[in-house]
Every structure is written in structure tokens, then in C-alpha cells.
A and B are shown apart, each in its own frame.
Chain A
Amino acid sequence: MARTRSGLSPRSGPLLVALVPLGFLAVFFVWPVVAIVRLGFGEGGVLAVLGSADTWQLVAFTVGQAAASTALAVLAGLPVAYLLARTSVPGRGLVRVVILVPFVLPTVVVGLAFRTLLPDGGVLAIVLANSFFNVAVVARTVAGLWSHLDGRAADAARSLGASPLRAFTSVTLPALAPALTSAAAVVFLFCATSFGVVLILGGSRYRTLETEIYLRTVELLDLSGAAALSLVQLVAVVAALSVGALARRRRESALRLRGRASVARRPRGALSWTVVGVALAVVTLLLVPVVVLVARSFDGGLAGYRALAGFGHEESLQVSGWEAAANSLRAATDATVLAVVLGTLASVVLVSLSRGRTRRGVVETMDTVLMLPLGVSAVTVGFGYLVTLDLLPGDLRTSPALVPLAQALVVTPLVIRMLLPVLRSIDTRLRQAAASLGASPWRVWREVDVPVAGRSLLTAVAFGYVVALGEFGATSFLARPDTATLPVAVARLLARPGELNNQMAYAACALLVAVTVAAVAMVESVGRSRVVEF
């Protein structure tokens, strides 16, 4: 009996290619993190730290503020999701841009903006800032599912006597649950590991695990304490990621079951208009911090912008503002190139494996592992680099290459989340049609997958670029004073006294805002992308 071979899925190819992103992950992520964990255990500080009441207070505050921020982001994001998915109100494209900007704004910029709005800072400012970042995640993830939800199920409920609200809570909301859970898990993760805003807004009074790790490492040199806290955080992160992965699995099957996308229409009825009103209010509120920050940057005329040519009040910086900007651009470019290559490879591997007959669990585990860097604190990673990388040849630890490597680690998961859904959405039969017309497996990729996913790749590049540009957690650890990036320079300026430093920081943040808005506008103009859908 001969075996007829399919010829479409050579098994070993994808697994070999998988070694590249997985290898990168192993050297620049797993190793440093494991080293931190071992360091924590090695010095025997773990038990002491775990037993201390301070630690659990820290955990309670971290979880508490993350939960509050997540709840707020969900409450604010749902009406916006409705607006995006179910209505044809003019200006929806603008809404998509406006909510996306906060997500990619550098954390130092957001921290400074909220400090300007609420000079006393505190818990409220932290929670507001954290949810400000993540409204887009909720709105766009939920809208992604909602716009494909067959509205006839809710119509059926209405015809059976349910009020509009009842139809929503009993039919629509459960159907949206997978997207909602997935988004909430990711948002919780981002809020729990949020670094820049807590550092700027919390000062020394309000500390989370993330900022505490940083403080213990940098200021107290308490490595074992930092390692122990990293360990606690790691456990929490893996738990949240697993919840997210489970939800994503349900969401993808929900998407597969979808009917034809329902037609968006003008809102009808009091409930619908109320929701739209709330959504527009949310969008307006999202604009406030950004506008205030940019306005503030012109307070002293152009003084702040002129000061960028210098080094700040009493030489607060070792590089000029413009040099820091140039450092940022260089590092972000390298990081983006690296992340796009790695992310593309990983997506191709994941989609090839799931198209073949590889066990589903294997693919999902790999997917989750590749998402890990998104959740594990950038500070932990940066700290891990300091501990491990001098063992590598080429004195990497003091090399300027370290910053883009760390940034790439943060950006790669985002690239994967943007490419993978598009590649997965390509009907296998479309590829089979190409094969039956004579296209070899490679040719099928070139003729079908690449053109279909091409736009998403472009958006991934632009999006990855701004995220790298604004990365603060790991960069603040790794950039040396003479290779400081703009966000790092801003944080340093804010930590030093002097009105000139303040003006300079505002001007630098306004520049970062400008770059971010431009990139987001480009992402959106390329087409309706599925950016930030988790």
C-alpha cells in the first residue's frame, strides 16, 4: 500500500524555522529570567521576602490597582467597542485612531501628562493612567468579535420578549465573553506590570512589585530581594497569561463560527444613543491628558524645545535632547527590524503547524510562550541581562546593542498578535486552490499568504516602531547615560530639580506624542487593521 502524500505541509521545515525565534527567546528572555530566579533562591532571601508582611502589602497594592484599572478600562472600553462595531456614526475612523494613541504613548509621557492633570498623584492618578493606556485593548478586541457577531440571535431574543438591555445581557454579552475575558486578562497584565507611570505618579509612597524590583536593584542593591519579588510577579503573570490564552482559544473558535458580518447602522433608540454618548465622552476624556501635555509644553514659548539642544539644568543629562532623540530612533529602528523578522518567522511557524496535523496543544503552548515577554516585567528582563549577558562573547553587557535587543523582545509578541490572526484567517482551501493550479508550497506562500498578510506586516512595522520608541522599563535599566533614549532622558529630567528640566521634559514628550500620533494615523490609514486585538 503506497501512501499518498499531501505535499503541502512538509513537517520538519516549520520546526527548524521555529528554532530562530525560540532560540532568541531562550537566550534573551528565558535565560536572564531564570538567572534572576536562581539568584533569588541562591542567596536564600526568597523565604525571608515571601514571609515579610511588606511583600504581601506590595502584592495587594499591585493586584488591587491592576484590578481597579482593568475594571475601569473594561467599563470605558465597552461603549467604545459598541460604537466601533455596531454603529455607522461618522468619524469612527478618527475614534479608532484616538483610542489607539494612548496605548502606544510612551509611559513616561503618560506619567507626566497625569502628573500635570493631578499634581498630587496618588492611587487615583495611577489607576486613571493605567486604564487610559488600555481602553484601546478592550474596545478593539471586543469590537473585533462584536462586528462579526450575528445580530439575529439578539433579534430572536427581542422577538421572544426581551428588552434591548435584557437582550444585551442575556445574549450579546455572553457571546462577547471570550473577547472580554481575553482583553481583561491582557489589560490586567499590563496594569500589574506597569512601570513608568507608577514610578512617576506613585513616587516613593505608592509602589508596585515592578517599581519595587527596580528600586531594590538600582538604589538598594538588594539583588536577592529583587529576585524574590520577580519570582512572585512571574507566577502571577503566567497565571494571567494562561487565562488569556484560554479565552483566546474560545474567541478564535467563536470567530470561526461567525456568520457574515452584520451591517453597521445608525444608532436607534434611547439605549443605543446613550451608549454612543458615553463612548464619545470616553474618547473625549482620552484626549484631555494629551492635549494638556502638549499645551503645557508651550508654556514658556519655545523655551523647552530650544533647551533640547542642551543638556538640561546643571547638566542633568550626559547627552543633549536631540542626541537622545537620535539614540531613540536608532534603537527603535534596530529593534523593529529584529522584531519583525522574529515575529514573522514565529507567526509562519505557528500557522504552518496549526495547518498541518500537529497537536493543537503544542501550537497553543508555543503561542503562549511567545507571548510571555509581553507580560513579564521589562524591569526583570533588564535586570536579568545585567546578571547573565557578560557570559556571552563580545561583551554584550556594555554594548549599545543591548537596548534594541530588549526592545525587540517587547515588540515581537505584538508583531505576532498582529500577523497571526490574518494568516490564520486565510482559508486552507484558498491555498489548496493555488496548489491545484500548480503552485509549489513556497509559491503558495508568495502568491497567497504574503499578499493577503502584507498590509498587516506594514502596520506591524509602524506599530512596533512606536512601541520600541516609547519602551521605558528595560531601556532605563540598560541604556548607559551616554546612550540614553528620549524616554529615559525625560525620566531623568523629571527626577532632577529645575524649571528648565521640566520644560525640556514637556517638549520631549510633545515630540514623542507627535511621532506616536503620526505612526498610529499611518497604521489606521493602511487599512482596518486588527492592531491591539488580543
Chain B
Amino acid sequence: MALTVSGLTVHYGTVAAVSDVDLAVADGEVLALLGPSGCGKSTLLRAVAGLEPASGRVCWDDVDLAGVPVHRRGFGLVFQDGQLFPHRDVVGNVEFGLRMRGEPRTDRVAELLELVGLTGYERRRVHELSGGEQQRVALARALAPRPRLLLLDEPLSALDRALREQLAMDLARVLETTGSTALVVTHDHDEAFTLADRVAVMRAGRIIQVGEPAEVWRRPVDEDTARFLGCGEVLSATVAGGVARCALGEVRLPWAADGRARLGLRPTALRPADEGVPGEVVHRVHRRDHVRLRVRVDGRLVDAVAGMGDAPPVGAEVRLAMDEDGVALLPA
């Protein structure tokens, strides 16, 4: 393992922002730290960078980094809002890390600007750049000295949605092309799943679950995690022969083991169908590419989604069927 963190704790006064965290990132792997704001994920990242006094161990290739200051760790850092040097142009920013090491720089700078899609921006002043461009420069600047580990602190959060999705794809490509080992902090699961090979879910200073994106998405370890990952409803269920049954019907989950369990339902878990539990539509709103419904079933209100074309009106009697893609499986 390239990066290993063990027993890491960070105190702010008497409050433990990060408590007793163990974590490992393999060479070339991208790990996302995912959690709600205030869960301590940024503090953990800063402790890894060496910016936060902490107890516990941070090791690189089994060498303890305790006495190694920030500037000798060789860890690149990208903040939410760029933090570009205002008195330098784009080149001045990108070449900064190379200058600190006394390396020749022209080729590398051009190479990186091309990588992030900013060729021709060399002499631009940084305050003339848009938010997205600033983040690209910040990424190029962090990558230029070939850091051992790239630390990204909510790198896309300050951008608007369309730009964020575009940049997330670009960032995933850059991380893959450069074969970077990276730790990404984010509160957005889409972003985490787009970027990361593995996801670590954090809550209240502790790591709750680590796993591949699909695995975490399908099998959250507890109810809070399920709710954080978008499950509005959690119901008890029994699984038998790859089929889970609950109060709202049954759904095929071929990967689920037999026995008692709970199901976490995202809005997409229920859709109007010919067969299923009966209910009455009490509310509907249009979303980007679907219609979100609020349906009363047996005196309880549940979320469901329908296509734009065939969404039932408010007051309509509908039947709801379960859809495997919207269902998460929790331990009983």
C-alpha cells in the first residue's frame, strides 16, 4: 500500500474532528472520502497533507511521515476554490512546483496545459479565468511536479452543475491518464462514484464503510449510510432464492443472500406498473428527465418516479412495482 493511515485522530480543542481512522490507498488507486459536510473528511485530508497536527500515523510506503513537513511530502493539493497565486499568470502558477525543485519546466508546463485543455492560456492572468478554468489550472499546478499522492479537497464543489459534471469526467480521465494515486474529498456521491476506484464513507469523524462504488451503493452498512446515499425509505424484508419481499412488494436481487434483511428504497425503486401495490398519487413534480411522484400506499407516503410521457396525474389510482436499480440491501 502506498498510503497507510492508522489510528489517526485530530482534535479541535476538546472536539475530535477525526477519531481513530485507519485507511489505505494503493499505488495508482483513487479513493474518495465521502460524507456529509462537517464529518471530518477535509480535516483527515489536511492531516494527511501535514497541515493539521494529529496523533496516529501517516505512512508512505511504510515510512512514517511524522517529522516530514508539508513541503517535503511530495503530496499535491487542490482546494475547492483553486487558491491560485494571484500575482502570477497561468504558467507562473503551473511551473511553481517545478521551480521549487529546481527542475527545467517549459515542456512539462505545455504538456500539463494540454492535459487539462488549456493550451494557449499560458500568459492569462488568473483572475481573468472562469471558475472551471481556475480549477483546471489548480489541477495542472498540483500535477506538474509529479506528486506521489494527489489530494483533492471538494475540487468541484464551487462550480455550477453542468460544469461540475463536465469537469468530473475530465478529472476522471486526467487521473487515469496520469496514473495518479489520489485521495478525493467530496460530499457528492455522483462525484465520488465518477472519480474513485474505492469509496470510504465517513460520518462524525469515523470511517463507516469502505468499498467499491457499486458495492457501497448496493450494500450500505447501516441505515444512516443508506439515507446519506439517497434511500428515503428503509423497510424490513426477507430474501429467499434471490427475491426480496417487503411491505411494498417484491424485487429480484440475484446477488442477495437468503435470510432476514432490510431494504433501502431510493425514489427510483418504485415505478407505476400494471401490477403491484395499489396507491393514490398525491403530488407530482417534473425533474430533469423524469417525474417525481409522492404516492399514498396503505396510509404511508412513499416516493416513486415515472417517465415524462406516462406520468399519472394527481389523484390517480396507480399500482407500484419495485425496480432492482433503486434498491439497496442492508443488514437486518
**Pairwise interchain contact B86-A437, C-beta atoms closer than 8 A:** no
* Most B Cβ at <10 Å: residue of A430, A433, A443: A433
Contact mask for chain A residues 425-436; partner B; CB cutoff 8 A; 1 contact, 0 none:
001011011111
A398 contacts partner chain B, Cβ-Cβ < 8 Å: no
**Of B47, B69, B74, B76, which contacts A7 at CB under 8 A?**
B69
The bracket for how many chain B residues form the interface is 35 or more
Cβ–Cβ < 8 Å partners of A438 in chain B: 71-72, 74, 97, 100-101, 145
By beta carbon, the residue of chain B nearest A430 is B83
B142 at the interface (CB under 8 A from A): yes
**B100 cross-chain contacts in A, Cβ below 8 A:** 437-439, 443
The yes or no answer to A12 lying at the interface (CB within 8 A) is no
Check if A315 is an interface residue, CB within 8 A of chain B: no
Q: At the interface with chain A, which of B56-64, B162-170, B174-182, B306-314?
A: B56-64
Q: Closest CB-CB distance, A509 to chain B, in whole Å?
A: 40
How far apart are B52's CB and chain A's nearest CB, in angstroms? Answer: 7
Q: B77 is contacted by which of A8, A433, A440 (Cβ under 8 Å)?
A: A433
Partner of A3, one of B7, B55, B76, B87: B55
Residues of chain B with a CB closer than 8 A to A7's CB: 50, 68-72
Q: Point out the residue from B47, B86, B142 that lies within 8 Å of A4, measured CB to CB.
A: B47
Q: Do A5 and B56 touch (CB < 8 A)? A: no
Q: A4 with B87: in contact, given A437-B97, A440-B71, A447-B96 (CB under 8 Å)?
A: no
Interface hits, A382-439 → B, CB 8 Å:
427, 429-430, 432-439
Which residue of B75, B97, B145 has the most chain A CB atoms within 10 A of its CB atom?
A: B97
> A437 to B76, Cβ gap below 8 A?
yes
In the complex, are the beta carbons of B71 and A439 less than 8 A apart? Answer: yes
Shortest CB distance B193–A (Å): 26
Whether A8 and B97, one on each chain, are in contact in the complex, defined by CB atoms closer than 8 angstroms, is no
Q: Of B7, B68, B77, which one neighbours A436 at CB under 8 angstroms?
A: B77
Flag if A4 contacts B53 (CB, 8 Å).
Answer: yes
What chain A residues lie within 8 Å of B69 (beta carbons)? 5-8, 435, 440-441
Q: Are B83 and A436 in contact (CB under 8 A)?
A: no
B85 and A448 within 8 A (CB): yes
A436-B49, A437-B97 known; A4 vs B71 contact (CB < 8 Å)? no
A451 within 8 A of B: yes
Contact pick for A452, options B7, B74, B87, B101, CB 8 Å: B87
CB-defined interface of B14-26 with A at 8 Å, one 1/0 digit per residue? 0000000000000
**B66 with A5: CB separation less than 8 A:** yes
* Set of chain A residues within 8 Å of B79, measured between Cβ atoms: 429, 433
- B residues less than 8 Å from A444 (CB atoms): 71
B47 & A436 in contact (Cβ 8 Å cutoff) = no
Asked if B67 is at the interface (CB within 8 A of a chain A CB), the reply is: yes
- B97 / chain A contacts, CB cutoff of 8 Å: 437-438
Chain A residues whose C-beta falls within 8 Å of the C-beta of B66 in the assembled complex: 2-5
Q: With the chains together, A452 CA to B100 CA distance in Å?
A: 18
Question: A1 contacts the other chain (Cβ, under 8 Å)?
Answer: yes
Chain A, 440-466, CB within 8 A of any chain B CB: 440-441, 443-444, 447-448, 451-452
Give, as a whole number of angstroms, the nearest-CB distance from B118 to chain A: 18
Q: Is the CB of A437 within 8 A of B96?
A: yes
- B50: A residues at CB distance < 8 A: 4-7
Name A440's closest neighbour in chain B (CB-CB): B71
Contact of A437 among B52, B58, B141 (CB under 8 A): B141
Q: Which listed residue (A6, A430, A451, A452) contacts B52, Cβ 8 A?
A: A6
Q: Is the CB of A432 within 8 A of B54?
A: no
**B257 contacts partner chain A, Cβ-Cβ < 8 Å:** no
A440 to B65, CA, bound (A): 16
The digit string for A1-38, where 1 denotes a CB below 8 A from any CB of B, is 11111111000000000000000000000000000000
Contact A8 B83 (CB under 8 A): no
Q: Does B273 contact A (CB under 8 A)?
A: no
Report if B51 contacts A (CB, 8 A).
yes
CA A447 to CA B141, docked complex, whole Å? 15
CB–CB B54/A4 < 8 A: yes
Q: Give the distance to chain A from B179, nearest Cβ to Cβ, in Å.
A: 20
Chain B min CB distance to A74 (Å): 34
Residues of B within 8 A of A1 (CB): 7, 55-57
Q: Which residues of B contact A447 (CB under 8 A)?
A: 85, 96
Q: Which among B68, B70, B74, B87 has the greatest number of chain A C-beta atoms within 10 A? A: B70
Residues of A within 8 A of B73 (CB): 436
Please determine whether A436 and B85 come into contact, CB atoms closer than 8 angstroms.
no
Residues of A contacting B87 with CB < 8 Å?
A: 451-452
Bound CA span A429–B84, Å: 10
Write out the residue numbers on chain A whose beta carbons fall within 8 Å of the beta carbon of B71.
Answer: 7, 435-441, 443-444
CB distance from A9 to the nearest CB of B (A): 10
Q: Which residue of A lies closest to B101 (CB)?
A: A438
Q: Which residue of A lies closest to B8 (CB)?
A: A4
CB-contact partner of B51 in A427, A432, A452, under 8 A = A432
CB distance from B58 to the nearest CB of A (A): 6
Evaluate whether A4 and B70 lie within 8 angstroms (CB atoms) in the complex, with A434-B96, A437-B97, A438-B100 already known.
no
When distances are taken between beta carbons in the complex, the residues of chain A under 8 Å from B64 are 2
Contact with B along A62-104 (1 / 0, CB 8 A): 0000000000000000000000000000000000000000000
With A435-B71, A447-B96 known as contacts, the answer to whether A430 contacts B51 (CB < 8 A) is no
What residues on A are CB-neighbors of B57 within 8 Å? 1-2
Once the chains are docked, how many angstroms separate the CA of A447 from the CA of B85? 9
Q: Which residues of A contact B145 (CB under 8 A)?
A: 437-438
With CB as the reference atom, state the residue of chain B lying closest to A433: B83
B148-185 vs A, CB cutoff 8 Å, 1 = contact: the mask equals 00010000000000000000000000000000000000
CA distance A447 to B98 in the complex (A): 13
| Closest-CB distance, B269 to chain A (whole angstroms) | 41
Which of A1, A4, A427: most chain B Cβ within 10 A? A4
- Which A residue sits closest to B67, measured CB to CB? A5
Please tell me if the beta carbons of A3 and B83 are within 8 angstroms of each other in the complex. no
Q: Mark B70-109, 1 if CB is under 8 A from A, else 0.
A: 1111111101000101110000000011001100000000
16 further contact pairs, Cβ within 8 A, besides A6-B53, A435-B70, A437-B76: A1-B55, A4-B66, A6-B52, A429-B79, A432-B83, A433-B138, A436-B49, A436-B71, A437-B71, A438-B100, A439-B100, A440-B69, A440-B71, A441-B69, A447-B96, A451-B87
29 contacts between A and B (CB under 8 A): A1-B55, A1-B57, A2-B57, A3-B53, A3-B54, A4-B53, A4-B56, A4-B65, A6-B50, A7-B69, A430-B85, A433-B77, A436-B75, A436-B77, A436-B151, A437-B97, A437-B100, A437-B141, A438-B97, A438-B100, A438-B145, A439-B71, A439-B100, A440-B71, A441-B71, A443-B71, A444-B71, A447-B85, A452-B87
Closest 9 CB pairs of A and B: A7-B69, A438-B100, A437-B97, A436-B77, A2-B66, A435-B70, A451-B87, A435-B71, A1-B55
